[in-house]
Amino acid sequence: MMDFYFFTTDNGYKGRMAMEESGLPYKLHLVNLRAKEQFNPEFMKISPGHKIPALHDPEGPGGPVTIAESGAILKYVSQKSQNGLYPSLPAQRVKVDQWLFYGSATYTTLAQQFGHWVIRSPDDNPGAKKFYTDNYIDMLGILDRHLADHEYFADQYSVADISMFPDTHLHGVNDIGLKDFKNVQRWHDAIWARPATQRAWGPHE
C-alpha cells in the first residue's frame, strides 16, 4: 500500500485529491508543518526539500519509489491508476502539461505569496499586499478567460484542474471572492461537487 504524506495546505490538498481520484489504497500520514515535522530525517529521505506532499510506493515501477513535488505525484498516481486524469494521447497531454505546469510553477507559487503577505503575515507591508493582490486578481482573470470556452483547463477534468483547485478554493472563494470570475466559479463548483474532492477535503484523523 502507498504511504501519502500530507498537511492541510494547498499542495497537500492537490496530492490528496489525486490520491482520492485514483481509487488506489493508501495510508495517510499527517506531517505537522507547524510542529516542523517536515524536518524529521526519516521524512527528508522521502522529500529531500522538506516539503509535503510526498509519496512512497513500495510497488513502483522497477521497485519501491519515493516522490516529492505535487505535480509529479499527480501524474504518477493518475498514470498508475489509469483513471485518465493524465491522458496518454499526446494531443490531450500537451494541454494538460501546459496547465499543470502553470498550476505548479506560476499559479500556486504566486498564490502562496498572496497568502503570506496579504492574509497571514503579521507585518503590514502595503507594497507587497498590493503587488500580490493585483497579481492574484490578474491570474483569476487568466483562468476565467480560458474557462469561458473550456469546461476544464484541458477540456476534460484532469490533473491540471487539480493543480489549480486548492488555491482557488482557499484564496479565490474565501479571500477575493469570485463574483467577477463567473467561469472560475462554475469550474470551482463542479470540482467541489466531486465525491473524491469531498473526501480529500474531509477529516484526516
Ligand X SMILES: N[C@@H](CCC(=O)N[C@@H](CS)C(=O)NCC(=O)O)C(=O)O
Size of the residue set binding ligand X (CB under 6 A): 13
The stretch near ligand X (CB under 6 A) out of 9-17, 86-94, 142-150, 176-184 is 9-17
- Which of 10/144 has CB closer to ligand X? 10
Binding segment for ligand X (CB under 6 A), chosen from 19-27, 63-71, 83-91, 173-181, is: 63-71
Least gap, CB of 180 to ligand X (angstroms):
27
Listed ranges 3-11, 116-124, 149-157, 183-191: which one lies at the site for ligand X (CB under 6 A):
3-11
SS3 assignment, position 58: coil
- Residue 64, number of CB atoms within 10 A of its CB: 9
75 counts as binding ligand X under rule CB under 6 A: no
Residue type for position 179: K
Pick the piece of the chain touching ligand X (CB under 6 A) from 69-77, 88-96, 142-150, 195-203. Answer: 69-77
Q: Which residue, 55 or 185, has its beta carbon nearer to ligand X?
A: 55
Q: Is 10 in the site for ligand X (CB under 6 A)?
A: yes
Is there a contact between 199 and 20 (Cβ–Cβ < 8 Å)? yes
Q: Over the Cα atoms of the chain, what is R_g?
A: 17
Q: Does 128 bind ligand X (CB under 6 A)?
A: no
The correct pick among 51, 56, 95, 188 for binding ligand X (CB under 6 A) is 51
The answer to whether the beta carbons of residues 125 and 103 sit under 8 Å apart is: no
Provide, rounded to whole angstroms, the least separation between the CB of residue 183 and ligand X: 25
Cell of 31: 506531517
Distance from C-alpha of 194 to C-alpha of 159, rounded to nearest angstrom: 14
User: Of 78-117, which residues contact ligand X (CB under 6 A)?
Assistant: 104
What is the Cα–Cα distance from 72 to 14, expressed in whole angstroms?
11
Q: What is the per-residue DSSP string for 62-130?
A: TS-EEEESHHHHHHHHHHHHT-SSS-SSHHHHHHHHHHHHIIIIIIHHHHHHHIIIIII-SS--HHHHH
Smaller CB separation from ligand X, 5 or 152: 5
Binding site for ligand X (CB under 6 A): 9-11, 33, 38, 50-53, 69-71, 104
